[in-house]
Amino acid sequence: MSETASLNMQDIPQGQLPEHIELQRTRVFCKADAPVHTEDVEYSGAYAAVGFDNSLQVDDFRRDFRVEIKNLSMDDIEFDMIGIDASLANAFRRILIAEVPTMAIEKVLIVNNTSVMADEILSHRLGLLPIEADPRLFDFLSENDTPNERNTIVFKMEVHCKKRGPRLTVKSDQLKWLPNGSELLMESPNPSTKPRSFTSFSCSQASLPQISGMPIGMKHRDIIITQLGPGQSIELEAHAVKGTGKVHAKWSPVGTTWYRMLPEVKLLKEVRGNDAEKLVKKCPRKVFDLEDVGHAMKKAVVSRPRDCTLCRECISGAGEENIALRRVRDHFIFTVESTGALPAEVLFTEAVKILEEKCERVISELS
């Protein structure tokens, strides 16, 4: 009697994987003690014995990849990225944090500061204020460039607390935009020469077509900067320039951005009666609901699997025999929280453009 390998048996179609191996390839299993099958199978010939091609095909990627927006507001967006690898999802996350440019205060010229806050701390707080200005309309300022209307935004703050008056709270709305550039003059070694300001604006920024329709200012006008006591004052000028988060976090366009793999909750057995009620109460995220099956009997059903955080409370004890907790490897729930410099959906579009430029640069270098 001839021997037959198990993978060559007739009940396994050529070019397809057995169900348990397909689950290991596409899912991460969350057991009661720890997740298993967490590593990706990248080798294209890993399943060659059954005629299954595991290589990445561009046509398959184009067919399977899609983005589905779930929640959208001015500063937040939640969307699903389906059909990609974790490395690509992480690339988008890192680009959003560190490589999408914004405008932020870089230079602070302090004329007078008699508050209790040191100049350095005050400057640091000003640098973290989100500016409502489209960075795509401005150029980067290099060391050899002169600050002008195309690469610099100037703000002025002049606040004074009256003597014998109440304490004054200084907020971000005290920063006023100077469309004509700096009003402070540089010290000249030659008294006969005409003093110059710290910027060289050839025209008012308010007259530029791309800026005239959208006045520049602070995104949030109620951010507390400091407090002044009676008789104290602050007078300064702040210069904002274009930069990226990899240079300093103040240029990061997002408060945070993260992703997680889509949870998958499956009931392996029907859970009824008291066991169903215990299961519904046990889940802190209310993933399960009760469904009436007649004759005063109810069973547990999975109603909100997306809300599952995989805390594994439902499979503690003997629950692992009834419930399977998994994550889908190529389905990512992506959340972006903008600081307000750009709308959340625009940030993701800009991240896609940056990744595209990186790929084109690599292809150009290789060719």
DSSP per-residue letters across 274-295:
HHHHHHHHH-TT--EEEEEEET
Instruction: Please say whether the beta carbons of 237 and 198 come within 8 A.
Output: yes
Residues 36 and 151 grouped into a single domain: no
Last residue of a domain, one of 251, 277, 292: 251
Helix axes 86-98, 344-366, angle to 10 degrees: 110
Last residue of a domain, one of 223, 251, 279: 251
pTM, two decimals, is 0.87
Residues 238 and 128 grouped into a single domain: yes
Last residue of a domain, one of 251, 267, 290: 251
- Over its C-alpha atoms, the chain yields an Rg (Å, rounded) of 30
CA distance to 141, 149, 186, per residue, from 203 (Å): 18, 7, 20
CATH code of residue 88:
3.30.1360.10
Report the share of the chain in percent with pLDDT over 90: 76
pLDDT reading at 277 higher than 80: yes
Residues 86 and 111 grouped into a single domain: no
Q: Give the structural domain span for 65.
A: 23-100+253-360
| H or E segment and range at residue 70 | strand 66-72
Residues 184 and 273 grouped into a single domain: no
Residues 221 and 308 grouped into a single domain: no
Average pLDDT over residues 279-287: 94
Partners of 30 in the β-ladder: 35
User: What is the reported pLDDT for 65?
Assistant: 92
Provide the token pair at 169: 């709270």
User: What is the reported pLDDT for 2?
Assistant: 39
Q: What is the pLDDT of residues 36-67, one digit of tens each?
A: 988 888 888 888 888 888 888 889 889 999 99
| H or E segment and range at residue 76 | strand 76-82
- Cβ-count burial of 87 within 10 angstroms (0-12 exposed, 13-18 middle, 19+ buried)? exposed
DSSP 213-264: TS--EES-TT-EEEEE-TT-EEEEEEEEEEE-TTT-GGG-SEEEEEEEEEEE
User: What is the reported pLDDT for 4?
Assistant: 42
Closest CA to 344 of 73, 145, 108: 73
User: What is the reported pLDDT for 12?
Assistant: 62
Residues 239 and 132 grouped into a single domain: yes
Contacts of 219 by beta carbon, 8 Å cutoff, 6+ apart:
129, 130, 131, 132, 339, 340, 341
DSSP 269: S
The whole-chain average pLDDT of the chain stands at: 91
On the CB side of 120, CA atoms within 13 Å amount to 0
Residues 114 and 238 grouped into a single domain: yes
pLDDT range class, residue 82, cuts 50, 70, 90: very high
> How many structural domains compose the chain?
2
CATH code of residue 206:
2.170.120.12
Residues 163 and 68 grouped into a single domain: no
Provide the token pair at 1: 């009697």
Average pLDDT over residues 306-331: 91
pLDDT range class, residue 231, cuts 50, 70, 90: very high
User: What is the reported pLDDT for 117?
Assistant: 97
pLDDT range class, residue 3, cuts 50, 70, 90: very low
pLDDT reading at 255 higher than 50: yes
Residues 227 and 320 grouped into a single domain: no
Residue scoring higher pLDDT (192 or 149): 149
Closest CA to 315 of 273, 352, 274, 266: 266
